[in-house]
Amino acid sequence: MKQLAEVLRDWEAVIGLEVHAELTTLNTKMFCGCKLSHDDEPNANVCPVCLGMPGALPVPNADAIRAIVKAGLATNCEIQQRSLFYRKHYFYPDMAKNFQTTQGPVAFCMHGRLDLDVRGEGAAERVDDAVDKAPDGSYETSVRILRIHMEEDAAKMVHVGGEEGRIGGASESLIDYNRCGTPLIELVTEPDLRTPEEARLFMEKLRRIYLAIGISDCSLESGSMRCDGNVSLRRRGSTELGTKTEMKNLNSFKSLHDALEYEICRQAEVLETGGTVYQETRHWEPSRRRTVMMRRKETADDYRLFPDPDLAPFDLSRDFVDSVRAELPELPDARATRYAQELGLKQADAEQLAGEPATASFFDEALALAGVGVARAVANVCVNMVPAYPGALPAQAAALARLLAEDALTASQAREVLEAVSATGEDALAYVEAHGLRQSTDAAALQATVDEVLARCTDQVRQYREGNKKVVGFLVGQCMKASRGQGNPKLFNQLLTATLEG
Ligand code: ADP
Ligand code: MG
Ligand code: ZN
């Protein structure tokens, strides 16, 4: 098969994503009062509603409606004044009612948009001129969101005793209804993405937003956030849509990228050898780095979709929507921009810190203690040191940032201190003092050391005067030794140079 770059010279990839997120931060299910939980005994959290008993009536979870409206507002969607719940009929034991309650053509959130900043190596995947590329290859692109609708999750089924993953080969199928009725939101994009990299960035950005607004734990591994990738090809210049294939349940950003990459190359080969791409669902096998056909779509599914007579149409008042809007926290992009512009942080640091709520609040706390004057040092500690020591406290990071900013500690010393104090909860400054690590920045004391060293190292002084400026490094080393590591190397360097030149 050809490589992606070669394929994309002749073909345009058209990609659309469907992203499911379980609203794991809620307490109860979508239409009943059963507890939401991942780790209880199987079938512990069930009731007549989520078991689909005849006559049981659903009551919508107001917090779930709040959460989806939040998601819609955070992704620039229009919140519909009136929306309906529908029944989507199918027969499978994971949904005892024999229909899933979901939404029809009008969902709570419609017509949104997310903008992507595509930078770095991945930006090279995009080769058409529909985007304006900066000299470094980076570009911006906008992805339309068709809708975000509310639905409920199905039960979890485990097939045991047979060939793994094959229902036909299993001797028993077990069902756990704890997950059945979990509130789920599904976001569907327009087919606006053009490269696997853009798809990955979209998914990453959406995850950051959902985390920031606190509606889901967004764990790709455990499946509380999952993504289906749809892709088709068309000749460059064509505006018609080709036949798409769909890869379901891609459970990491890498899988999403790699499955799309593989699928684009596979479809190109099929089309270039005169074959036909069929509309089908394909499964990504990460270990073998390929997709395999699961089922082909020959006819439209007949779900007999109709409005659920048990659930009245939902009218969301303007006041309700405004109250949700007022609750929205600062979103990661805005926060990163603020960090970069107001605090002068490097863009990459600002984005990393703003990306996850826990990281951002750690940074904010450390910053409040250390002071905005040393914001870059605080960011440096939070980005480059804290992640390695999970026990680190904001106050420890703040103290180290101040010492670094004063040049009283080297980066490697700061890392050592953090390693020690993050394990014990000790005060970082007290630790530094107790271990005599603080470097002296007292210029008079350092100058005395410099004078002493220069008086002693006559050879090196002569070499310097003869033009060998590199001996300063040796002299700094001598000063460090003379001060038993307490002096600041940067200051020694400055003082030595000034004295030698003076
Ligand atoms: P399905 O009925 O198979 O679920 P939809 O029309 O609902 O298909 O679209 C599902 C996703 O696939 C959406 O994100 C949409 O943007 C994307 N999509 C639709 N048609 C195409 C196509 N021809 N090529 C690529 N993506 C597509
Ligand atoms: Mg679909
Ligand atoms: Zn229940």
Q: What region, left, alpha or beta, does residue 475 occupy, with left being phi > 0 and alpha being psi -120 to 50 degrees?
A: alpha
H/E element, 434: helix 428-434
Average pLDDT over residues 425-433: 92
Lowest model confidence (mean pLDDT) among 116-130, 187-201, 357-371? 116-130
Q: Is the dihedral of CA 336, 341, 343, 349 positive or negative?
A: positive
Torsion of Cα atoms, 250 then 252 then 254 then 260, to 10°: 20
Token pair of 345 as six digits: 């942080």
- pLDDT, one tens digit per residue, over 48-103 is 999 999 999 999 999 999 999 999 999 999 999 998 999 999 999 999 999 999 99
Burial of 273 (0-12, 13-18, 19+ CB in 10 A): exposed
Span from the CA of 228 to the centroid of ligand 2 (angstroms):
8
Does the pLDDT at position 284 exceed 60?
Answer: yes
CA distance 252 to 124: 22
- For the chain, give the percent of residues with pLDDT over 70: 98
Please provide the distance, in angstroms rounded to a whole number, between the alpha carbons at the two ends of the chain.
68
Judging by beta carbons within 10 Å of its beta carbon (0-12, 13-18, 19+), is residue 85 exposed, middle or buried?
Answer: buried
pLDDT at 255 over 70: yes
Residue 278 in this model has a pLDDT that exceeds 70 = yes
**Rounded distance from Cα 323 to ligand 3 centre (Å):** 29
List, as ranges, residues with CB under 5 A of the ion ligand 3. 32, 34, 47, 49-50
What's the 18 CA to ligand 3 centre distance in angstroms? 27
Q: Which ligand is the nearest neighbour of the Cα of 97? A: 3
How far lies 326's CA from each of 78, 179, 320, in Å?
16, 31, 10
List, in order, residues 6 or more apart from 30 with CB less than 8 Å away: 58, 60, 61, 64, 101, 150, 152, 181, 182, 183, 184
Give yes or no for residue 229 CB within 6 A of ligand 1.
Answer: no
**For the purposes of burial, counting CB atoms within 10 Å of the CB of 159, is it exposed (0-12), middle (13-18) or buried (19 or more)?**
middle
Q: What is the largest CA-CA distance in the chain?
A: 99
Sole residue written with tokens 């909860």: 425
CA of 104 to the centre of ligand 3 (A): 23
d(CA 460, CA 454): 8
Q: Return the best residue to mutate from 102, 193, 202, 230 for the ligand 1 pocket (most ligand atoms within 8 A of CB).
A: 230
Does ligand 1 lie within 6 Å of residue 232's CB atom?
Answer: yes
Asked if pLDDT for residue 454 goes beyond 90, the answer is yes
For the chain, list the domains and their CATH numbers. Answer: 4-156+182-319 (no CATH), 332-434 (no CATH), 443-501 (1.10.10.410)
Q: Is the pLDDT of residue 164 over 60?
A: no
Distances in whole angstroms, Cα of residue 19 to Cα of each of 200, 224, 293: 12, 10, 21
Three-state DSSP state, 327:
helix
Tell me the CA–centroid distance for residue 50 and ligand 3, in Å.
Answer: 4
The helix/strand/coil state of 466 is: coil
